[in-house]
């Protein structure tokens, strides 16, 4: 008898193509379970996913379904906001180990040229992020602004999960003495200091804690802005003088080849890239905070 509805695995006239044995089973339902990048499913096959997210998940050997989903959503959100193309190095500190935390989400290749991190000193790596010890720990990004960004278009950010005050730098560097610098003092004497491609003076604003996303943007020769959790706090007129010729460090600043101003704050995210608008900095915070919330480590 002809199977006109098409149920089963061997129907000749299986026009709907249900079952686990049809070569033309375009819907793909069946009893064979398939492991997608985001967990087990009873739909045979793997969803396409975002190629950049999948490349990072593979390189960093991310196996946890929640972490995979967080990365996928972060990448899709950044692309949707038009921010992805402006990022040069992006460190989500996900997975829980140094071997996983080192990868640049924007280019997850294990090489200096891809700006993957090399950790030095005492770091504690866990699912909540990367924690430097505040005395000798830093991570080399191998990122030199002079070679990779314009002097008047630069943004960097850090998501800190530790509320401490002190003379700490979470990301920074400079060139030869007297030339440009890029770094911030986040909550030093309850102030937020920043400098980008200048050796003249700081842009400052008052803050009461160091938690969350701090972002700093130079968008013109005499425009530098500080943001806290997506909100513009201050605009300075410090002029740009030199594009930094030294490598940037995470967890400290690169003081002309020597790490100093070591941080003791747990990091859940950091990025380096081109200048962002006010709206883009707000959207950056929205995307990063959603990422941290998915992982259960938002502050």
Q: What is the pLDDT of residues 59-86, one digit of tens each?
A: 999 999 999 999 999 999 999 999 999 9
* pLDDT, position 178: 76
* pLDDT, position 39: 54
- The pTM (predicted TM-score) of the whole model is 0.85
**Angle between the 51-59 and 65-80 helix axes, to the nearest 10 degrees?**
140
3-state secondary structure 180-242: CEEEEEECCCCEEEEEEEECCCCEEEECCCCCEEEEEEEEECCEEEEEECCEEEEEECCCCCC
Six token digits for residue 268: 């859940």
pLDDT one-digit tens code per residue, 13-40: 444 444 434 344 443 333 333 344 555 4
| Contact in structure between 145 and 275 (CB atoms under 8 Å) | no
Least Cα distance to 267 among 67, 134, 91 occurs for 91
Phi, psi of 185 (to 5 degrees): -105, 105
* pLDDT, position 48: 67
Residues of the chain with pLDDT under 70: 1-48
Secondary structure of the chain: what % helix, strand, coil (to 5)? 20, 35, 50
| Contact in structure between 240 and 159 (CB atoms under 8 Å) | no
Q: How far apart are CA 141 and CA 149, in angstroms?
A: 14
Q: How far apart are CA 143 and CA 114, in angstroms?
A: 9
Q: In the chain, what are the domains?
A: 1-47 (no CATH), 51-294 (2.60.120.200)
Least Cα distance to 117 among 95, 135, 143 occurs for 143
Q: How far apart are CA 214 and CA 281, in angstroms?
A: 10
């Amino acid at each position: 008898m002809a199977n006109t509805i098409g149920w089963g695995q061997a129907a000749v006239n299986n026009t709907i193509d249900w079952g686990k044995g049809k070569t033309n089973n375009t819907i793909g339902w069946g009893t064979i379970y398939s492991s997608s990048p985001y967990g087990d499913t009873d739909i045979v096959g793997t969803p396409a996913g975002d190629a950049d997210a999948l490349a990072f998940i593979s390189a960093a050997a991310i196996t946890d379904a929640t972490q995979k989903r967080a990365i996928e959503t972060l990448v899709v959100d950044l692309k949707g906001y038009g921010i992805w193309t402006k990022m040069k190095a992006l460190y989500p500190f996900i997975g829980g180990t140094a071997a996983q935390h080192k990868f640049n989400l924007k280019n997850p290749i294990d090489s200096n040229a891809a700006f993957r991190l090399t950790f030095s000193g005492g770091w504690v790596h866990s699912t909540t992020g990367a924690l430097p010890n505040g005395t000798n720990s830093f991570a080399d990004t191998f990122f030199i602004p002079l070679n990779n960004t314009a002097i008047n278009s630069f943004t960097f950010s850090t998501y800190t999960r530790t509320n401490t005050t002190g003379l700490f730098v979470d990301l920074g560097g400079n060139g030869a003495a007297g030339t440009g610098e890029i770094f911030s003092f986040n909550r030093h004497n309850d102030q937020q200091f920043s400098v980008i491609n200048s050796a003249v003076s700081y842009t400052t604003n008052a803050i009461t804690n160091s938690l969350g996303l701090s972002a700093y943007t130079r968008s013109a020769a005499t425009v530098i802005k500080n943001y806290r959790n997506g909100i513009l706090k201050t605009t300075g007129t410090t002029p740009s003088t030199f594009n930094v010729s030294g490598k940037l460090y995470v967890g400290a600043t690169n003081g002309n080849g020597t790490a100093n101003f070591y941080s003791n704050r747990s990091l859940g995210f950091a990025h380096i890239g081109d200048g962002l608008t006010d709206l883009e900095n707000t959207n950056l915070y929205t995307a990063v905070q959603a990422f941290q919330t998915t992982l259960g480590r938002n502050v």
